[in-house]
Amino acid sequence: MSFFDKIFGEKQQEKQSKSFWNLIESEKDLENAIKKSYDGKIAIFKHSTSCFISKTVLRNFEKEIDEADEKVATFYFLDLLAHRNLSNKIAEDFGIRHESPQLIVIQNGNEVNNASHQDISLSQITL
C-alpha cells in the first residue's frame, strides 16, 4: 500500500466497504436501479474517488446510514471517474446538473430530490 493509499484509502476498498451499496457500473445496472425505484425510494451516491471532499461526505453519509433505525431506501454507488458516461446519462435523463459528490433520490422512476457536497444527508431521502 502506498503512502497516499494510507492517507486517502484504496479505491476498491472504498466502494465495497459497506454491504448496503449496490454498484452501478453499466447502463444495465442503472436501468435496474430505476426499475427498483418503483418498489420504493432509491438513492444514488455519485462519488469522485480522487476528491477528498467527496470521500469525507461519503464517510459521513455511510455513518448516518449505519446509525439509522430503519432502511429508508435502496442505496446505489457510482464511481463517476470510472463511469463518467453513466453520471452524464443520469444528469441528462433526470434534467439535473452534475455535481460531485451528489446524492440523487429517485422514486417511481422520477428524481424527487438531490443534494451535493455538505448538503448530502439521510434527511434528503426522507423529505
Handedness of CA 52, 84, 29, 73 (dihedral sign): positive
Using a pLDDT cut of 90, give the percent of the chain over it.
Answer: 81
Question: What is the arithmetic mean of pLDDT over 59-65?
Answer: 96
Question: What is the arithmetic mean of pLDDT over 49-55?
Answer: 95
Query: Tell me, what's the pLDDT at 69?
Result: 85
Flag whether pLDDT at 14 surpasses 90.
no
pLDDT single digits (tens) 66-86: 999 888 999 999 999 999 999
C-alpha cell at 42: 432509491
Q: What residues contact residue 75 under an 8 Å CB cut-off, 6+ apart?
A: 20, 21, 22, 42, 43, 45, 65
The rounded distance, in Å, linking the Cα atoms of 123 and 31 is 25
Using a pLDDT cut of 70, give the percent of the chain over it.
Answer: 87
| Residue-averaged pLDDT of the chain | 89
Query: Tell me, what's the pLDDT at 1?
Result: 44
Question: What is the arithmetic mean of pLDDT over 95-124?
Answer: 96
Cβ atoms of 19 and 82 within 8 Å: the answer is no
